[in-house]
Structure 1
């Protein structure tokens, strides 16, 4: 499995694994992954330590899930929101509207 992690990410992931095991902590991370056919994917890993009857860590149990489609959808959401905001005319803040109305001698809401 480690061969499928891109080389530049592999050392960081190995460092994370060593830290997780050294502290018997939970592992939750997303990791880029290259399938044998060359396709790039993103996997989500969640694992927690198992302990034996003496309280010693004896392994990890967890799940690995392909989250590539979800990550791609999440990446599209901010861009769509930015486009919508850019298409709208800028609205002055309410305090600014009230201040300008007072200067013109008109009553403002809340005054």
Structure 2
């Protein structure tokens, strides 16, 4: 599948993101509706059927994980607490929170 330079740049941007808010492109005080809107926009942009850039599938999964955590009030609160305690922790890998599996969640776009 072919891809554009813009799609590849988008994948690289997602990989550089340091937190779930940055992945979705929302502020820390984003409402549920803002989260849904941002998720839909990002999911459409990075869906593997629409984006053939290398890493698009992983970026799509990261977007789903970000939404799954931030759209769940309990997980979002735990995430905020975790992030404030561990601001400088990073694995340097594509998946930023492998060592903290409570935030590893898959979400299916059709569920939204």
TM-score (norm 1): 0.31
Structure with the higher fraction of residues in strand conformation: 1
| Bigger relative contact order (CA 8 A; separation at least 6) | 2
- Larger of the two Rg values belongs to structure: 1
Structure with the higher fraction of residues in helix conformation: 2
